[in-house]
Amino acid sequence: MEGRPRLLVLTTVHDPDDPRVRERTLASLAEAFDVTYATRPPGPTRGGDHSWVELRGGRVRRWFGALRLLVAGRYDVASVHDPELIPAALAARLLRRRRIVVDVHEHVPGQILHKDWVWRPLRRPVAWLARRSLRLAERFLDVTLAEDGYHVLFRHRHRVFPNHPADGALPAPSPDGGLMAYVGVVNEYRGATLMVEAAAALARPLPLVMVGRVTDEKAAELRDLAARRGVDLTLAGPKPHREAMEAAAAGTVGLALMADVPNNRWSQPTKLWEYLGMGVPLVASRLPGTEAAMEGYEAVRLVPPGDAAAAAAAIDEIAADPSIREAAAAQAPSIAEGLVWPAGEVRAHYLALAGR
């Protein structure tokens, strides 16, 4: 009897607990594949459905470790989640005829234009190279997308596996815990300073809880600002997805105050659906992608990007009117049930690539 196909899931950059990589792609494919998961240490917090391989060292050393796995590893299909790994994936495809999926999480060229670690004069050339890399991936590899808006980066249409929460990933609506919640990477492009400024401008103060990865430098900066502005700030750090959602479920309001930069403009952040799927009202930046995604939903307030006073006014409105959170709780079941990670479609796609 033919054994289960083998899958390599690979990321050198993302957090090992990244929800799209670990809790959606890997978890759904582990039902049909024997999965090897290669990441930087300390590895995922939850095991049981895969074998973990540590990619050691800095970013360059991890890249070469990933190249070795892609070229010489034993697998039927690989799932790659970092655009910088496209050259390694192309080498494995051209040298060994491997079947490799490149899953595009971001508008990569737009993201590079505001990357602090890329020297400013080089950002446009590097963004151009990223676009060319994606076009090569389109030609030689299999491409899947997290959002339909990323089709602008390619010549042809590709499968979209929308970044909705996995089935059963969200806790049920919980009582109002009297706090503002944010889940995600804590940096300027996700509105970190703006959230503290908005908290300082509230008519009725609320604690601000941020759950997610943050650098030591940014954490110190935010704590200093919060102390000076009289804001009760908790930086909870990264947590497994379920724990992060349980922390946010107690929010009076969930925040998604994204900056108006190219990578965010047409994005539809997963946290939009996560907050609403738990019955938490939402205050978000009025960006084209977010505005299109949130059309018709109650308990959503969109504010101009970068406007702390407008964000504070929207938060005050929600905090002062319990009926808004009640409306969010009422619509939560339909959102949680209707906007779900397409696990079956993902399995079918990968199994077809594996010849099953």
Residue 165 is given by DSSP the state P
Taking the C-alpha atoms of residue 80 and residue 256, their distance in angstroms, rounded to an integer, is 27
281, 283, 284, 288 alpha-carbon torsion, rounded to 10° = 70
End-to-end CA distance of the chain: 13
In whole angstroms, how far apart are CA 33 and each of 5, 36, 49, 50, 71?
A: 5, 9, 10, 9, 19
pLDDT, tens digit, 9 for 90 and up, residues 122-141: 888 888 898 999 999 999 99
In the chain the domains, ranked by start, together with CATH numbers, are 6-163+341-353 (3.40.50.2000), 180-338 (3.40.50.2000)
Structure confidence at residue 1 as a pLDDT band (50, 70, 90): very low
- Tell me the pTM: 0.84
Residue-wise pLDDT for 35-75, tens only, equals 999 999 989 988 999 999 999 999 999 999 999 999 999 99
Lowest mean pLDDT among 32-36, 167-171, 192-196, 228-232: 167-171
Q: Tell me how far CA of residue 186 lies from CA of 128, 219, 322, in angstroms.
A: 27, 9, 28
